[in-house]
Amino acid sequence: MKFVDEVTLEVHSGKGGDGCIAFRREKYRPMGGPSGGDGGRGGSVILRADPQLATLLDYKFMRIVRADNGRPGEGSDCYGAAGEDVVLPVPVGTLVYDAETDEPLGDLDRPGAELVAARGGKGGRGNIHFKSSTQQAPRKAEPGEPAESRRLRLELKLLADVGVVGYPNTGKSTLISRMSRARPKIADYPFTTLVPTLGVVAVGDHDGFVMADVPGLIEGASEGAGLGHRFLRHVERCRVLVELTCLLPGDPPEPEAMLDKLDVLEREMARYSPELAAKPRLVGVSKLDLPEVQAALPGFKAALAARGQEGEVVAFSAVTGQGLPELLGAIHAMLQAHERQPGPADQD
């Protein structure tokens, strides 16, 4: 399934039905009076968060969405039928913006959350509402309210507890495939991961968390280099980040090579978003099965300890499984220490 995380959509609600001007002409009712009913409400366009969806692909080629107009009122006190609403299911985590002004309209961050993107017009009142002691036969009715039109920009930010970031080929996809049932593409060339991947990681029998793997970051990512910059927004909602570093082919077998990669990651995240850079994190050293990584690991930990980051490094090998239980335990402990604070949506 193709991953689409941003689309532009034009939505139009339905116009309200016009009120009716009518009078009774029934036998035995010579003073029948007004009988014009109200117009029906126009249909609305509603966005609803659906946990079964993971992409905005359905709206990639859907340019315009229109709801039905309300029907006009009729005589004999008959009200017009309301226009049918159009409900558009979107993935949980979809942000909605006005495409013209860039004004945020809503954040569908929980299953079932709804946003009325274009509200249907109210139906006009018929002449039955304008009868009075001085106006026995009113020839007045209201038109229905006009439809509402709007251009929307839908932007998906995946909801995950843990975000895994790192250089290309540092083992992010292999890690998430070992810790969950996710099966991302894995290969020995850069930028194998082209779209974010979500995996559910079980902790014991009754606990777990969602982990997100995004395409690799490189120097200049915050300015558009590579692929990772485009997907960094998918880890903005994460409670904890795991920064992966290791020695790649061509790197000198020294701790500084791993340290430089870590510095680039933190620098690019800070340029992208100060809030993202401030998130709690732990450092993971992958590919522990390689002798050069084992040799450089003590010096790397010492360099981090000199920075005050001692105790935040977990080395592992996703191939052999060495260190994975320790990594899982460290992530789970951090999640428990940084419980998600309830937002406005959780307090409804």
Q: Are 296 and 252 in contact (CB under 8 A)?
A: no
Mean pLDDT of the residues in the chain: 82
Looking at this protein, which amino acid is placed at residue 125? R
The CATH code of the domain at 1-156 is 2.70.210.12
Q: What is the pLDDT of residue 216?
A: 66
* Residue, of 9 and 337, whose pLDDT is higher: 9
pLDDT (tens digit, 9 = 90+) per residue, 55-67?
Answer: 888 888 888 999 9
Q: What is the dihedral of CA 94, 274, 3, 67, to 10 degrees?
A: 20
Radius of gyration of the chain (CA): 29
Poorest-confidence range of 1-10, 182-191, 268-277? 182-191
Q: Are 39 and 17 in contact (CB under 8 A)?
A: yes
In the chain, what percentage of residues exceed pLDDT 90? Answer: 27
Q: What is the pLDDT of residue 48?
A: 95
**Cα angle, residue 238 at apex, residues 237 and 242 outer, rounded to 5°:** 145
Q: What is the dihedral of CA 267, 272, 278, 284, to 10 degrees?
A: -60
Q: Is the pLDDT of residue 189 over 50?
A: no
The CATH code of the domain at 162-347 is 3.40.50.300
Taking the domains of the chain in order of start, what are their residue ranges? 1-156, 162-347
DSSP summary character for residue 59: G
Phi and psi at residue 209, to the nearest 5°: -155, 165
In the chain, what percentage of residues exceed pLDDT 70? Answer: 85
Beta strands in 120-216, from DSSP E residues, in sequence order: 149-156, 162-166, 197-203, 207-213
Q: Are 96 and 154 in contact (CB under 8 A)?
A: yes
User: Would you say the CATH fold of 162-347 matches that of 1-156?
Assistant: no
Q: Is the pLDDT of residue 346 over 50?
A: no
User: Which among 190, 194, 226 is positioned nearest to 213, based on CA atoms?
Assistant: 194
Q: Is the pLDDT of residue 37 over 50?
A: yes
pLDDT (tens digit, 9 = 90+) per residue, 126-151?
Answer: 999 998 878 888 989 999 999 999 99
pLDDT (tens digit, 9 = 90+) per residue, 64-88?
Answer: 999 999 999 998 889 999 999 999 9
Q: What is the pLDDT of residue 266?
A: 85
Dig out the tokens for 79 from the structure: 């009200």
Poorest-confidence range of 46-50, 139-143, 228-232, 258-262? 228-232
* Residue, of 117 and 305, whose pLDDT is higher: 117
pTM strictly above 0.85: no
User: Which among 85, 94, 12 is positioned nearest to 57, based on CA atoms?
Assistant: 94
